[in-house]
Each structure stands twice: as C-alpha cells, then as structure tokens.
C-alpha cells in the first residue's frame, strides 16, 4: 500500500512539473501575470513569476530588457522589506546596485545599507553606506542628470535648449553647469540622516568608536525625531568618552546645551554612566567635568514631567484644559550644579479609561526613562566626594584631604562620611607622610569607634604604615584596639580582621619574637579557618618553628602544607624548608634528597638557587669538591637575586682557593661582576681578585686593581662597595707592602686627592691614607670641625667621625650622623660606630627608653657580632637607670653567654653587674661582681675594669662596715702590676696614706710579690 501511494505521489509531481504554466508562458506574459497578481494584492503569488522572468532573461543584454530586470529587482526587494525579510531583499538590492540602468540607485543603496545593518553584516553595511554617501558612480550620475533635465524640459519646454554639442541645457546657463546646492551625493537631508545613523551603528558594532563619531554627530545636527536624536547624542557621548577625547566632549556639550536635547534623559544617563565609569577607573580629572555637565536629577525630572503631560494630552489621556500651574509646584535651591528643582505629585483630570487608549511609543519610552531616573539616588551627594578624588588623582592631596574632611565633619555617621574619614587618614599617611597628624586622629577615632568596617580599615592603614616604616612595636601596640572591635561575621570585615591579625603575626616575626609569632600564626589558623591568609599562616607558622630551631616540630607542618596545598604559593619553599629541617637535625642524606627535589621539581623557584647552594655545602663538607662546585655553578645560573649569585660565586672561590686554582677564581668572580654589574658586591669581587693576585704573587696587580676601582667608583657616594675596597687596599698596604711601596701608594692617593674636584672621593682617599697610617681618630677629630655638612661624606668618613667623637665623648653630632646613615647608607657596615655614638648620647641625656629602642634596632641588624657587645652592656645600664634591676642583671649576664664577646666586653659586663647590684642595694652581691672583675679580667682593657672593680669592691666593703677588708682591697690594687700605674690608684693611695703607699711601691721595686685576698666571715642569714 505504501509503495502504491509513493508511486502515485511521484507521478503527480512529475505531471505538475510538466504542466507548470510558467514554463509555457512567454517572458512578457510572466510580467503581465505578475503585474496582475500585484495589483490584486497577491504579492506572494507574484514573486515566482518575477523570479522566473529574471532567470529566463538573465543573459539578455538588450536595453529595454535590462531596464525591466532592474525594475523587477527593485520591486522584489521592496516586497521582501515590507515583509521584514531583509535577508532575501539583500540579493536583489545588490544586483540592482551592480547593474544598469539604475534610476532608483539612491533609494536602492539606502535600502541596501539598512538591510545590511538589520542582518548584522556590519562590514558590508559600512562599505555600502560609505559608497552611498560618496554619491552614485559617474555613469549612474550622468544618467540621472540626463533624465532629470529631460523631465524638466518636458514640463517646461521654453526653459531648455540644446547646446552646440547636442546637450540639453537650461537657458541662460553656461556650458559648465554649477551643481545644485545641497549634498553632492544627491540624497535628501532625511535620507542622509538614515544613512549616517546606520553607518554610526555599524561602526559602533565593529568597535570602531572613533569612526562612528562623525555620522552620529550628523544625526544629532539634523535629526528631528527626539527619540533617535537622543540615541545619537548618547552614542556620541559614549564614543568621545571611550576615545578619551574629553576636550572635544567639553567643546561639544555646549552645542548640546543650546537645544532641548540637554533635557534628554538618555543623554544625561550617558554622561552619568560615563562619568561614573571614569571615576571608578580613577580617571577623576576627566570624570568631574562630565558630572558638572549632568543636569540635577530633580531639574531633569521636572522637565520630563512637563513633556509627559504634553504627550498624555496629545494621546487623549488627560484633559487639555487643565492648567499645569495649578498642579505643578516648583521649589528651587542652590546646589553644586546650580538650581535644583523639586516637583510635587501632579493631579490630572482623567479622560476615560487609560487602559482603553493606546499609548504612543514615545510616551511609553519616556515614562520608562522617567521611572528609571526617579529610582536613582541623588547623585549630587557624590560630587564633593568625587571632587576630592580628583585632587587626589592629580597629586594635590592637601585639597583632597580638605574635601574629604568636609564631608566627614558635616556627616560623620553616614557611610559616605565614614568612607571620607578613611580617605583622610589614607592621604595623611601616604603620600603626605603626615604621621604626626594622622596617627592621633586615627587613634582617637579608634578609641570611640569599635564597630563596622571603617575602624578596621583605619587600623589596617596604621598597621601598613608602621610596617612600611619598620615599626613592628607600634603594630603590636594596636593589638588591644583590634581585640576590642565588636565582633561581626560580615565576609569583608572578617577578611580585614584576618589581615590585621596576620600583620600582628608578621610583626612578631620581624621582631624575632618567634614564640609569639608561632602563637599569632596559630590564632589565624584557629580563628579564621580557610581564610585568604590560611595558606600563608600555615607556611609561616612552620617557618617560625625553624627560626626557633624546632626542626622536629616544623618538619610535619611543612609536610602537611604540601599535602593541603599541592599547587600552593610556598610549595617550593616548603620542600626547601623540609631539607633545612633535616639539615638542622643533621640528617644530611635526607637533606640532600629534599634539596635535590627542589632543583628537579621547581627549577624556576626563587629557592632553587639556595637549594643548590646548600646541597653544594653538604657535598663540600663531605670532601666532594668537584660535585660541590657543580652545585654552586648551577646555583649561580638559577640565582634570582644578587645575594644568591654572590653566595654561590664566593663559595666556588673558596673551594678553588683551597685547590690553588686561581685562574678559576678570577673566572667565576669575573662572570659574577659582569652579570650583575652595579648590583654585584663589587668590593667583595675586587677583594677576591686582589686576594687571588696576592696568592699568585701579583701583589702589585692586586694593589693596582684596588686603587683603580676606588678612583673609578669613589666619586659616587652611593657606590658603598668602594668603602669595602678601601679596607682591602689598607689590609694589603699594611701586610704585603714594604715601607717604600707603602709610601708610594700613599703618595698616589694624596696626589689624586689633591687633583679631584669630588669632595666625596677626596674624603674617601683621606680616610684611606689615615687607615694606612693608623690615624683614623685624628682624621675624625679634624673632620668633626671641618665638615659642617655631611652630605658628601662616605660611610668610612662618617665612621671615623663617629669613632673620634666617641673617644672625645662629644655627642653633639651623634643624631645627625646616624640620620645620614639611615637615610643614605642603611645597609652599610660602617654604621655600627654611629649606632654606638647615638646610643651613648641618649644614655647621657637620660633618654633611656629611646636608647633602648635604638639598641633593639642595632641588635636586630647586627645580632651578636663581636663589635656589638656595647649594645647589650648599654641595655643593662639603661634598665638599671630605669630601676628595672632584675632585667638589667639578665641583660648583662647574657653578655657572658656569647663566646664572641669574650675579653674586654666580659670584663665590663661583670663590672656593670656590680654597679647594678650596688644601685639595687645588695652590696654583698655587688662586692662579689667587683671582686670577680679584678680577679678574672685584670688583663683586659689595660686593666681599666679591674681597677674600677677594686674601687667598687672597696666602696661596698666600707659601706658594709668592713673597713679592714676595704683597706686590704686598696693594698691589693697597689700591689697588682696590671693596674697600679692607672689613674684610679690615686683613690687607693689617698685611702692608705702616703707612708703606706710609699712602702708598698718600695716593696714592689725590691721584687716582693703578694696577692691580697679579701674573705668575709658572714653570719648565717647574712
């Protein structure tokens, strides 16, 4: 059955094809049938006949047929456009424009442009619109001109004649006719508006905003329809903003303001959105003029309400006889933008059921726009705020502070007011650096405001400033404020709280309070689980344990970090730290495994170079020197900082030195200096070069390399490496040159010093000569008076002045010298004497807290280096002066726990312990410390502290009533060859009297040796 039906359908289809009437019709019959159908209104039925004609006559080029085909194409295009089938119309329009004749070229081209736009073929639209605006091709233009003249001549035969060439011309005109006034394209202004609107939209869709400005501007100028004009204005505004052509925008806006388009809501919203976007993008200098162009919201609403009323009257929605003055009440007040108007609700007389009357599109659109603008908050309130931002952006922070402060003082409780106070503090801290104004204001605010976001932001600003200025103690000082904040579970506030506590933990770390750091990072892990600082806190909690050398505890934490954050920020560092843990636990095999894991798994990580270096150190300790050198070479290649490259370079140099491979030393040091240039440690590099040349027996070359480098770089005050080179040259001069060579070198230095115009180089060379001669203190004493301005003084010069001043107990320039170091040479090793001078300056002035702070800074920088023992001793003295005796004892006792401070520092610390106990009133303990000073340390500092110990001991004994023992102490002092010629002995001689003193000295002269020991017999409880 199915087969039968299929056959029947096929047969009928074949018969239909065979019997199609169009196949039997002549071409003229096809046209007639199509015309009949079109006139009957059956457009769809006419289309196949017209298409059939075009297909049948496609190869015929006879003029009449070509004209017929063009006419059909144009009709078909208009048919499809009428049915909103622009895609089908396009093919006919393209064929029409491409073929001749084209009497409807202008209309067809315009329709082509619009159709391309509707089909979103924007490139084609641009091309077609550009061609249209350029006017028809020459052949089309000529045909159109000829047809126009013939039509004019037919309607007015007496007005035209033929010229000598047979061309029809208007009587009275010359052979060369002027073009008619108007656009040369031949389009009417109305058509030009359509074309420019389409061109502008196509350019906009293609992202060619700059190109869209000209066509949209034409539309704005000639468009009568307020809706489309408003759209074009909005596009021009947006285009000029995107182009950042604010000069043109500013010049263009006054033209707009001379028309009612200034009241168009779309225009104002475009300006507002553009200004807001620019403000958000921190383009404040461009945003503020746009804000000033926007009409105040109420004024805009008032104008559009009037327009709404007019449209409603036109639509028959309200009675026209109602006097709007009876229902519209305006009030005005001055605002930042001029007059601001408020409109009350208007009561209209209704005309029937509004729903039964169809609203015109313009009314519907305007109602929607008015509702939108009414729903927005008053944007005037933001103007002053944004004005402040403008001043901030153009680096006028004081003006910005005044504007923000004005908002805060006028309305301190609003969100805008609170945000403004935050901005005030931010600007005062940076860029104004007015910490003295910002800090008390911020702290006063925090003492009163403990709730919400802004107090936490203020605390964050303070913490950040303290961190930047390396004031971790002040960061810690904010902890009571932070802990007093009213709890809030808001996501943003929790993030700030987490950040504040993280800053606290970092401050503990910086202050080397590692136990506290462990607890602080643990708080973040406990109180802010899965926070944005969770990963960092996890890593640094473990790192803090390493700083405490708690390797066994740190190890599993780093392993846990890697398990939880396999792609984390600190993965490479965590693996490296695991290696460090094993290194600290002396499991060198596992340490090597993890260092190798770093280099293999994280070859681009910042710790890769460190891993190679430590791996090399282990191999070197095992005697595998070639393998160690290989690691150091890899470390150099992977170095991401000059310090890493420096370590690997000079470790290689040490290995090569042990093997007497001097050429290799020169090679690696040369590579390092070439690779890092001014960032390299030039002094260390040249030191190794010089040292190598010395080991090669090339002392003269070593001296010359130092000399040349000092002269070359010495004029630059910032080249602090020169000062280390001076040390190297001085060392060679003292140890490797004979007197003649030394004198020659000094003379060369003096000659250059006389010839140079650079005071910096001159001072450096004077310091070099003084160090060779051992006359640094004398130079320092000279320069104290000579240098009123220290700006050209290099670190060795400042160091010499510091040493000389300390020896003279002249603290007048202590603060100035240290300030120069801190501002210009903060990393200089020559700063140590300046710290010492300033520390004793503060102590002598009784500014003990300031002295303690300076001591903490010095110790944070230099730790327990041999020449920083003074800091710990002075710390004990300051604490004693503050009557914090137990702390003073602890501070001074700790001096003797540092092996590197043995000798003179031990002697002074023991004596100072006696002073502390004496001040605290425990004279027996004081006597014990004083006695220890002269028993154990008489050979240090030329016996000075032993002599002071004798006097202190005798003083305590006398105060305790042990007069005999006190006299024996004085006798022992005079018999002690280490001290008996010191000035302090005058006290003993006066106590013993001239006769006994003379007897003691005679006994010494005769060779008598004695050793007085004072022993006290004390009752139980004493």
Sign of the CA dihedral 787, 790, 796, 800?
A: positive
pLDDT at 256: 62
Alpha helices in 246-296 (DSSP H): 246-257, 265-280, 284-293
Residue 320, pLDDT > 70, answer no
Buried b (16+ CB within 10 A) or exposed e, 845-881: eeebebbbebbbbbbebbebbeebbbbbbbbbbbbbe
Domain 584-676 classification at class level:
mainly alpha
Average pLDDT score over residue span 168-184: 48
**Average pLDDT of every residue of the chain:** 84
* pLDDT(195) > 80: yes
pLDDT digit string (tens) for 782-794? Answer: 888 888 888 888 8
Lowest mean pLDDT among 5-19, 196-210, 940-954: 5-19
Q: Which helix (H) or strand (E) holds 525?
A: helix 514-527
Q: Model-level pTM?
A: 0.48
| Pairwise CA distance, residues 110 & 104, whole Å | 10
Q: Tokens 């700006």 correspond to what residue?
A: 791
Which of 177-181, 354-358, 396-400 tops mean pLDDT? 396-400
- The pLDDT, as a whole number, for residue 296 is 73
| pLDDT greater than 90 at residue 240 | no
Average pLDDT over residues 116-144: 93
pLDDT at 569 over 90: yes
Residue 844 CB partners (closer than 8 Å, separation 6+): 811
What is the predicted pLDDT for the residue at 825? 83
- Both structure tokens of 224: 């009568």
Confidence of residue 388 (pLDDT cuts 50, 70, 90): confident
Distances (CA, A) of 708 to 713, 736, 751: 9, 18, 14
Pairing status of strand 338-343 against strand 330-335 = antiparallel
Q: What is the pLDDT of residue 291?
A: 67
- How high is the pLDDT of residue 165? 52
- Ranges 242-251, 697-706, 781-790, 929-938: which has the least confidence: 242-251
Superfamily for domain range 189-295: Tetratricopeptide repeat domain (1.25.40.10)
| Coil vs helix vs strand at 833 | helix
Confidence of residue 732 (pLDDT cuts 50, 70, 90): confident
Choice between 258 and 772, residue whose per-residue pLDDT is larger? 772
Using a CB cutoff of 8 Å and minimum separation of 24, what contacts does 742-750 make?
742/772, 745/703, 745/707, 745/772, 746/772, 746/773, 748/707, 749/707
Confidence of residue 74 (pLDDT cuts 50, 70, 90): very high
Structure-block tokens of residue 308? 């709404």
In the predicted structure, residue 304 carries a pLDDT above the cut 50 = yes
Three-class DSSP category at 1018:
coil
* Of 955, 913, 910, residue with least CA distance to 936: 910
pLDDT bin (cut points 50, 70, 90) of residue 257 is low
Judged against a pLDDT cut of 50, whether residue 11 lies above it is answered with no
Query: Out of 33-47, 65-79, 283-297, 625-639, which region has the weakest mean confidence (pLDDT)?
Result: 283-297
Can you read off the two tokens belonging to residue 67?
A: 């004209």
Please tell me the predicted confidence (pLDDT) of residue 288. 67
- Position 335 scores a pLDDT of 30
Q: Per mean pLDDT, which of 162-176, 369-383, 580-594 is the most reliable?
A: 580-594
What pLDDT is attached to residue 579? Answer: 96
Confidence of residue 1015 (pLDDT cuts 50, 70, 90): low
Look at 152-161, 439-448, 617-626, 734-743 and tell me which has the smallest mean pLDDT. Answer: 152-161
Per-residue burial over 431-458, b if 16 or more Cβ lie within 10 Å, else e, is: eeebbeebbebbeebbeebeeebbbbbb
pLDDT of residue 890: 92
**Phi, psi (degrees; rounded to nearest 5) at 889:** -60, -45
Q: Is the pLDDT of residue 716 over 70?
A: yes
Tell me the C-alpha distance between 316 and 507, whole Å: 75
CATH topology for 903-1021 is 1.25.40
pLDDT above 80 for 517: yes
Q: How far is CA 779 from CA 550, 742, 770, 803, 841, in A?
A: 49, 19, 7, 10, 21
- Amino acid 714: pLDDT: 85
Q: Is the pLDDT of residue 997 over 50?
A: yes
Q: Do 675 and 645 contact (CB within 8 A), yes or no?
A: yes
Q: How far apart are the C-alpha atoms of 293 and 297, rounded to whole Å?
A: 12
Residue 27: pLDDT over 50: yes
Q: How far is CA 307 from CA 268, 370, 1005, in A?
A: 16, 11, 124
The per-residue pLDDT for range 944-996, each reduced to its tens digit, is 999 999 999 999 999 999 999 999 999 999 988 889 899 999 999 999 999 99
Highest mean pLDDT among 138-147, 314-323, 561-570 belongs to 561-570
Please choose, from the candidates 742, 751, 797, the residue with its C-alpha nearest in 3D space to the C-alpha of residue 773.
742
Cβ-contact 393, 284 below 8 angstroms: yes
Residue 822 pLDDT greater than 80, yes or no:
yes
Q: Is the pLDDT of residue 419 over 50?
A: yes
Higher-confidence residue of 461 and 865: namely 461
Task: Return the pLDDT at 626.
Answer: 93
Looking at residue 177, what is its pLDDT?
38
Residue 19 has pLDDT above 50, yes or no: no
Single out the residue of 299, 246, 275 nearest to residue 383, CA to CA: 275
- pLDDT in the model for residue 147: 83
* Region 253-281 average pLDDT: 68
pLDDT of residue 923: 94
Percentage of the residues of the chain whose pLDDT score is greater than 90: 49
pLDDT over 60 at 166, yes or no: no
* pLDDT tens per residue across span 651-708: 999 999 888 898 899 899 999 989 998 788 776 787 787 778 778 888 888 888 888 8
Q: Rounded to an integer, what distance in angstroms lies between the CA atom of residue 461 and that of residue 468?
A: 10
Q: Above 60 in pLDDT, residue 100?
A: yes
pLDDT band at 636 (very low <50, low <70, confident <90, very high): very high
Q: What pLDDT does residue 342 have?
A: 37
Contact 485, 456 (CB under 8 A): yes
């Amino acid at each position: 059955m199915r087969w039968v039906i299929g056959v029947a359908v096929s047969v009928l289809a074949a018969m239909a094809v065979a019997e199609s009437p169009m196949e039997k019709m002549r071409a003229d019959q096809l046209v007639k049938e199509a015309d009949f159908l079109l006139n009957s209104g059956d457009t769809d039925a006419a289309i196949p006949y017209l298409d059939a004609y075009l297909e049948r006559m496609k190869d015929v080029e006879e003029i009449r047929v070509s004209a017929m085909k063009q006419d059909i194409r144009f009709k078909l295009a208009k048919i499809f456009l009428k049915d909103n089938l622009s895609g089908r119309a396009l093919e006919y329009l393209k064929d029409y424009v491409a073929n001749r004749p084209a009497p409807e070229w202008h209309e067809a081209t315009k329709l082509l442009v619009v159709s391309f736009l509707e089909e979103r073929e924007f490139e084609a639209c641009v091309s077609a619109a550009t061609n249209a605006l350029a006017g028809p091709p020459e052949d089309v233009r000529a045909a159109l001109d000829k047809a126009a003249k013939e039509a004019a001549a037919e309607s007015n035969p007496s007005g035209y004649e033929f010229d000598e060439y047979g061309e029809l011309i208007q009587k009275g005109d010359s052979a060369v006719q002027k073009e008619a006034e108007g656009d040369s394209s031949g389009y009417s202004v109305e058509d030009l508006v359509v074309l420019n609107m389409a061109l502008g939209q196509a350019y906009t869709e293609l992202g060619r905003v700059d190109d869209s400005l000209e066509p949209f501007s034409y539309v704005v100028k000639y468009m009568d329809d307020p809706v489309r004009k408003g759209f074009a204005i909005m596009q021009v505004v947006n285009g000029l903003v995107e182009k950042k052509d604010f000069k043109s925008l500013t010049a263009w806006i006054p033209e707009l303001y001379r028309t009612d388009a200034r009241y168009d809501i779309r225009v104002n919203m475009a300006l507002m959105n553009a200004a807001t976007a620019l403000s958000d993008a921190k383009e404040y200098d461009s945003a503020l003029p746009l804000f000033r162009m926007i009409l105040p919201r109420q004024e805009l609403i008032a104008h559009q309400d009037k327009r709404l009323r007019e449209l409603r009257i036109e639509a028959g929605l309200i009675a026209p006889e109602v006097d709007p003055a009876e229902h519209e009440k305006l009030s005005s007040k001055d605002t930042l933008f001029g007059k601001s108007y408020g409109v009350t609700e208007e009561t209209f007389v209704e005309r029937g059921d509004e729903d039964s009357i169809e609203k015109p599109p313009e009314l519907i659109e305007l109602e929607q726009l008015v509702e939108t603008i009414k729903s927005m908050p008053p944007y005037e309130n933001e103007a002053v705020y944004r004005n402040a931002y403008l001043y901030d952006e153009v680096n006028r922070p004081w003006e910005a502070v005044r504007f923000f402060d004005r908002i805060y003082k006028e309305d301190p409780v609003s969100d805008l007011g609170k945000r403004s106070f935050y901005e005030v503090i931010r600007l005062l801290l940076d860029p104004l650096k007015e910490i003295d104004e910002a800090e008390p204001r911020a702290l006063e605010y925090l003492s009163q405001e403990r709730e919400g976001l802004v107090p936490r932001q203020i605390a964050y600003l303070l913490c950040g400033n303290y961190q930047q200025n390396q004031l971790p103690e002040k960061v810690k000082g904010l902890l009571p404020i932070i802990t007093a904040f009213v709890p809030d579970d808001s996501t943003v506030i929790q993030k700030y709280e987490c950040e504040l506590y993280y800053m606290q933990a970092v401050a503990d770390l910086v202050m080397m309070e590692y136990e506290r750091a462990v607890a602080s990072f643990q708080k973040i892990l406990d109180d802010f689980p899965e926070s944005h600082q969770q990963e960092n806190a996890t890593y640094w909690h473990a790192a803090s344990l390493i700083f405490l050398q708690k390797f066994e505890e740190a190890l599993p934490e780093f392993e846990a970090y890697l398990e939880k954050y396999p792609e984390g920020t600190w993965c490479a560092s965590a693996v490296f730290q695991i290696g460090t843990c094993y290194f600290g636990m002396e499991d060198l095999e596992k340490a090597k495994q993890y260092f190798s894991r770093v280099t293999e798994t994280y070859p681009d990580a910042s710790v890769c170079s460190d891993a190679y270096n430590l791996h090399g150190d282990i191999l070197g300790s095992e005697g595998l020197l070639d393998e160690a050198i290989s690691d150091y070479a890899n470390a150099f290649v992977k170095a991401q900082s000059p310090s890493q490259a420096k370590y690997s370079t000079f470790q290689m140099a040490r290995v090569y030195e042990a093997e007497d491979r001097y050429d290799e030393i020169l090679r690696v040091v040369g590579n390092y200096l070439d690779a890092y240039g001014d960032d390299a440690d030039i002094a260390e590099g040249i030191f190794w070069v010089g040292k190598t040349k010395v080991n090669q027996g090339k002392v003269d070359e070593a001296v010359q390399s130092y000399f040349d480098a000092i002269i070359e770089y010495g004029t630059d005050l910032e080249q602090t490496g020169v000062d280390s080179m001076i040390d190297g040259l001085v060392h060679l001069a003292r140890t490797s040159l004979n007197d003649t060579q030394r004198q020659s070198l000094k003379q060369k230095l003096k000659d250059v010093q006389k010839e140079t115009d650079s005071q910096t180089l001159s001072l450096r060379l004077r310091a070099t000569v003084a160090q060779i001669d051992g006359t640094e203190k004398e130079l320092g004493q000279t320069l104290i008076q000579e240098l009123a301005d220290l700006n050209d003084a290099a670190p060795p010069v400042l160091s010499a002045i510091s040493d000389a001043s300390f020896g003279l107990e002249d603290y007048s320039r202590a603060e100035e010298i240290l300030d120069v170091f801190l501002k210009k040479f903060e990393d200089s090793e020559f700063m140590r004497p300046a710290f010492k001078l300033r520390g004793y300056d503060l102590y002598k002035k009784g500014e003990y807290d300031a002295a303690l702070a300076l001591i903490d800074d010095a110790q944070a920088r230099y730790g327990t280096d041999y020449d920083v023992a003074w800091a710990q001793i002075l710390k004990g003295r300051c604490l004693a002066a503050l009557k914090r005796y137990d702390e003073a004892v602890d501070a001074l006792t700790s001096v003797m726990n540092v092996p590197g401070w043995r000798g003179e520092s031990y002697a002074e610390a023991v004596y100072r312990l006696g002073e502390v106990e004496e001040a605290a009133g425990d004279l027996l303990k004081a006597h014990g410390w004083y006695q220890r000073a002269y028993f154990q340390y008489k050979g240090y500092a030329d016996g000075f502290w032993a002599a002071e110990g004798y006097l202190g001991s005798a003083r305590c004994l006398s105060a305790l009533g042990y007069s005999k023992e006190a006299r024996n102490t004085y006798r022992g002092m005079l018999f002690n060859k280490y001290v008996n010629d010191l000035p302090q002995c005058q006290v003993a001689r006066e106590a013993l009297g001239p006769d006994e003193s003379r007897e003691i000295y005679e006994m010494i002269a005769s060779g008598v040796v004695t050793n007085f020991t004072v022993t006290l017999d004390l009752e139980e409880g004493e």
